Structure 1
């Protein structure tokens, strides 16, 4: 038993000395006190007085037990509430200490947050100086020219950018170099495509002219061949008719000569008959010659008609080619006017969008860049309607 516990008796347990009593092995001395009080005698169990004494001693143990247990239970309840009080005190202390710390550090925290916001703003602005290579490689010359103008108008403010100035200058220079190189390639590509279109149009026109000329040539040759065939057929028919008449005349002359040999008596009559037949033969020959001349005249007329038809076919082909060439030229002009109108339409929309941004507080450079970024599809959920 400690020095404090030696002077504490069961009847003097209180809130003040409870922390010194209710500790590990702290109650053993009180057990010993109870033993010393009740175990010093051995009552006679055979007598009533002895039995009553045993009951009295047991009651004394119970009374002493309660006298030790009750203050202990009360002390235990009090220390059970103590953690809550301590926790509340600690929470309030921590809250006030954190508030004091935050208040003392607030100027530095505000400065760090401002620097971080500025850094994020600069990084976002510098990031806008970098265009997607895929967009650059697929853009047309008009877009590339607009982009070059927009990037050339971007001002790099070194005082505001600080350590990012070199990167911003490098990104601007790299992007402008990529845009200019892409513009050279794109203009060369568009010129080549225009030349290919022109060459294809010329080739198609030449092929059409060749087809028309071939059709006219075949038609002329066929017409001339048919005219020659008809003229030859008529000449052959006239020659056959003339030969038949000559054969008939020769046969008649042979018959006349034979008749003269057979019947000289009828010579005069036969002479007159022969003279008549000869006249008829001459008439027939004259008719055959007239028919031949007429056939030749018809053949010549058909030949001239064929030539005229061929010339008319060639003229029609020429006029058709002129019409096709005019139509092709009109289509090229229409496409050029459509491109120029589309270009002017887009330019007007770009200008209207830029002026709207400027009217709502943007600088001209920022407005131009904003329009360019929206038109390029780089801003999600935003587009320009043409």
Structure 2
């Protein structure tokens, strides 16, 4: 199918609804939509992708054009059946009322018969109970007479046994009272012993506490003495340490002063020796120069000394003595 295929505008008129909205009544429209959907645009081009969107919108528009009239038609149908439904409900209610009125006499008669039957049953049970009570009373009276005669025969034995029982009860009472007294005495003895034991335990506890307190005080005193002795020893050691440090410091200072003095003396001695050596060196050179002037220039010793002195003082231009 070419890309120019278009779906005709769908329009359903109200008078068409009864014929269309039935089984398979919309197949013709579905065929048109399927024919439109058979087109396969080129998804790789913008035009093709736009065409796909256009086809989808046309399908949606067609669906809406068919669905909305159908929904309206269904609404009309529902509105049309409402009166029928209401009339049917009214009819059934009235029929039920008429039926109940017809059945009412029979229901009342059945209820009355049930009440009469229940009352008769209760009367029968009551009569049966009266008969059972009478039989029971008769049997009880006969048994009483029999028991009374037997009691008269056993009266003597009963009196003897009763006296023996009374004597036994008295004996047991006395024995019980004696046992109670014995238990009371025993309990008093036990309580007295327990009290004495508690007093002994309390005295022993106090004695232990006093002993423990004395021992603790002794330990505390010894510990305090040891602490004081240790503090004293530490103080002595601290003073000794400070004294040693002071002595070391003084010794270092004295050693430094002595070293400085010796160094200064050595420097002075070295300086004096260097100066003396320099003087002697100059003297030797001057004497050698003097001897050379005397020997080479024919100067007298006084003249040679005067020349050397003038040169040494820089009084002779361009001439100097190298020492």
TM, length-normalised to structure 1: 0.28
Larger RCO (CA within 8 A; separation ≥ 6): 1
TM, length-normalised to structure 2: 0.33
Larger Rg: 2
